Structure 1
Amino acid sequence: MCRIAAYLGPACPLRDFLDAPPHSLARQSWDAREMASATVNADGWGVGWYADDGQPAIYRHTLPVWADGNVDALGRSLSRPLWVGNVRSATPGLGTDHANTQPFAGNGLIFAHNGYIQHFAHTLRARVRAELDPAIEQTINGNTDSEYLFALVRQQSGSLVERLRATLDLVRAWLAEHDDLKALLNIIVTDGRELAAVRSAFNTPAPSLYIHENWRGGFVIASEAFDTDPGWQAVVPERFVTLRA
């Protein structure tokens, strides 16, 4: 599993999003309170935003966020109206390397996934590849279920929520062909103008996900609340969320 978060609103310094709050995403890398599995998220971290040209920009590192010497300089230097972040706890068998570190970007989208698909390499990976257009399939660089989910999202059409819904419908149909497979499927995706997210799972309880509709003047979606402000609300399982600036 991982911890994920996203912000959309007035320009926000990276440090205010990443590590300034009392229970920030960075703190959740070593002090997560609602993890369904694992204890720390020490297998890399990353953050995505949109550059001045309107295209996604991603910073990723395979070190845990607390060990990355670039965090302070990045946090003080970057300010953006949209952030998508991830601190990673790698699923056993999926390598801790740059290609497997989130967030992912492509086709103008930024994507983060908290969860896993059980026995992905032996069950759904071939099905996903067979579903993908060659132009999308050839852009997959790693071997995580998360990157394959992102490829499926990019394959779909419609609004962000429609693309998320179509992706999960496919995945659920394929999972149903196998006995007792489990999947955790919390996802955040953005095109730079809006954020879409879902809290979902298959054959197991969904991971935690919260939303705050006025956090420092903007929206935040996060695996765990950043602070004790009463504005944080748990997202209902199997609920899709769309946020627009």
Structure 2
Amino acid sequence: MCRWAAYRGEPLYLEELVTSPAHSLIEQSHCATRAKTATNGDGFGIAWYGDRPEPGRYRDILPAWSDCNLKSIARQIRSRLFLAHVRAATGGGTRRDNCHPFVHGRWCFMHNGQIGDFEHLRRSMENMLEDELYAARTGTTDSELLFLLALQFGLDRDPLGAVAETLGFVERLAAHMARPVLVRFTAAFSNGEDLYAVRYASDRKAPTLYAAPMGADGGYCLVSEPLNDDNAWAEIPDGSAVIVGENGVDVRLFGAADIPSGESPAVAPFSRAAGSDLQLT
């Protein structure tokens, strides 16, 4: 399983998540504490938003702890919205195209989890993509394909609905092909304005997700595991979606869509904590 961290708020240096904390993302790349594997050394990536609509990105196949360029970049770049990821490969080779975050237009996406029996589902999943999105696929991971399917199903129009439809499609496809129905999905994604995250699993064993306020004026950080021992970190429940936007944090119930989006949304209000500490009850 991978580890990731994302932030939206007043501009911060990337090092505030990636290198500086006691349990920073680089620390988690070789000593994760809330994952099945402690080492996440199969590459890394960061994506950040600046003055242009599309995000900047830096990825490599080196372990995050051994890349001096990553530490230098994280120390120099400030951003109001950024995503960072360290990879433990569950499928797909160790190559740059398979490192998260994935970017398409103004969107970026990173994922921790897996699709059961993916190699048997892969071709049918790819066949759902329009030519433009199929041509945009450069790697071999299930994560990148989930991202492209979400774009296919309307990520621009309805981000959470598109992800719900994507996961529902994969589950229905697996059942139709008499394959194990297993989707484990904890992901963060952004259009450069709002930061979204989803924690979901068909077997109720989704990878972890935590949130805490960070920085000034309502900034929030979403992570696979806490960056320090501060008790401000709140665990996001399985079956939830998170939106971090101008008005603070919105946490909602989330489920994979049983029917195409636009007919019946699979997300519903759960709680709201605009401009204050995250409240889950």
Shorter-chain TM-score above 0.5: yes
Identity in percent: 33
Distance between the aligned counterparts of 2:38 and 2:110, measured in 1? Answer: 20
Q: Is the 8 A contact 2:194 2:245 kept in 1?
A: yes
**Structure 2: stretches of 5+ with no match in the other structure:** 247-281
Alpha-carbon displacement from aligned partner over 1:64-89 (angstroms, at most 9, x marks no partner): 11111202211221110011011000
Q: Tell me the SS of whatever aligns to 2:163.
A: helix
What corresponds to 2:85 in structure 1? 86
Q: Return the match for 2:124 from 124, 127, 133.
A: 127
Paired residues in the alignment total 241
- In the TM superposition, what are the counterparts of 1:1-245 in structure 2 within 5 Å? 1-35=1-35, 37-92=36-91, 94-122=92-120, 124-157=121-154, 158-177=157-176, 178-203=178-203, 205-212=205-212, 214-217=213-216, 218-245=219-246
Deviation for aligned residue 1:193:
0.5
Alpha-carbon displacement from aligned partner over 1:164-192 (angstroms, at most 9, x marks no partner): 22212212222333343433111111001
**Structure 1: stretches of 5+ with no match in the other structure:** none
Alpha-carbon displacement from aligned partner over 1:5-32 (angstroms, at most 9, x marks no partner): 1100000001112111111111111111
**Normalising by the residue count of structure 2, what TM-score does the alignment of the two structures yield?**
0.82
Distance between the aligned counterparts of 2:61 and 2:71, measured in 1? Answer: 17
Distance between the aligned counterparts of 1:221 and 1:171, measured in 2? Answer: 25
Q: Is the 8 A contact 1:14 1:79 kept in 2?
A: yes
Distance between the aligned counterparts of 1:148 and 1:49, measured in 2? Answer: 21
Q: Tell me the SS of whatever aligns to 1:200.
A: strand
Deviation for aligned residue 1:119:
2.3
Deviation for aligned residue 1:42:
0.3
Q: Is the 8 A contact 1:180 1:203 kept in 2?
A: no
Which of structure 1's runs of 4+ aligned residues deviate more than 4 A?
none
Q: Is the 8 A contact 2:17 2:24 kept in 1?
A: yes
Alpha-carbon displacement from aligned partner over 1:185-241 (angstroms, at most 9, x marks no partner): 1111100100111111123511111111x2223111110011122221111111111
